[in-house]
Amino acid sequence: MDVPTALKRVGIAVVAVIAAFLGYQHVPDLPDLLDQLDDATGTSSQTTDAPQAGPLPIAPEDTGAHYDRDDWPHWTYQGEGCDMRDRILIEQGRSVRQGDDCAITDGTWLSSYDGATVTDPSELDIDHIVPLAEVMRSGRIVDGRRVGPRDWTKEERERYANDPKGLIAVTAATNRAKGDQDPAHWLPERDQCGYVRHWVEVKHRYKLSADQDEAEAIANVLDNCPSDQRE
């Protein structure tokens, strides 16, 4: 067995023990753990799935990064006629029924942004918690240069755009009101603590930065959350 492989196996066991000790409800899956451990053995990784805490790195928005929604392919095919939109609707709804080719015909969904109960799936959008355009603007600065999304491959952009950990079914009206705004400019009517925590988790997962106004808005929300909902 080569050394990197041995290190990965030991690392997986260590992370699993730590996760159990700290009481994390989500244990990282193997591919994401291998991504994470690749960093420690000298290769690059886009994401980390270990629970993250603490502030995000601060950097001005990367306004020089070109954004085109067509460069972020979604929704990817998931099998059995379903794409990622279908998968999110199925996982986040109650009593969801499907027709031919995974067509969602019925169900009930709670839109966490506004508290609306929805029974018509056509009234729902699948929102990227951290919008695609915001991701593109959120490259970190390392040794004086931008790193991150502006250098992602098409496959990496597709991975982000279809990552269920960063997707949520909400009413189309609230999703479109949000647009590509960060928490300094838009917050949901309900569960702002949960929304901001989810935002921070996604940014940590993809090693993204926050601009100063965004970081202050995040801190202001979390400072007013119950202690068990703070990072």
Q: Looking at residue 228, what is its pLDDT? A: 58
Confidence of residue 62 (pLDDT cuts 50, 70, 90): very high
What is the distance between the alpha carbons of residues 74 and 103, in angstroms, rounded to a whole number?
17
Position 12: which residue type?
A: I
> What's the confidence (pLDDT) of residue 23?
37
Mean pLDDT of the 48-61 span: 77
Structure tokens that stand for 128 in this block: 């990227």
Query: Helix crossing, 212-223 with 192-205: angle to 10°?
Result: 130
Helix (H, G, I), strand (E, B) or coil at 14: helix
Predicted confidence (pLDDT) per residue in 102-132, tens digit: 999 999 999 999 999 999 999 999 999 999 9
Whether residue 140 is predicted with pLDDT greater than 90 in this model: the reply is: yes
Which tokens in the block code for residue 69?
A: 């929604």
Indicate the domain borders of the chain: 1-51, 60-229
- Residue 192 CA to residue 194 CA, distance in Å, equals 5
171-202 pLDDT per residue, tens: 999 999 999 999 999 999 999 999 999 999 99
pTM (2 decimals)?
0.78
Confidence of residue 230 (pLDDT cuts 50, 70, 90): low
Distance (Å, whole) CA 168 – CA 124: 10
Amino acid in the structure at residue 140: R
In one-letter notation, the amino acid at residue 9 is: R
In whole angstroms, give the CA distance from residue 137 to residue 65: 7
Q: What's the half-sphere exposure (Cβ side, CA atoms, 13 Å) at 143?
A: 1
Mean residue pLDDT of the chain comes to 83
Render pLDDT for 10-50 as a digit per residue (tens, 0 to 9): 343 333 333 333 333 333 333 343 344 334 323 233 666 55
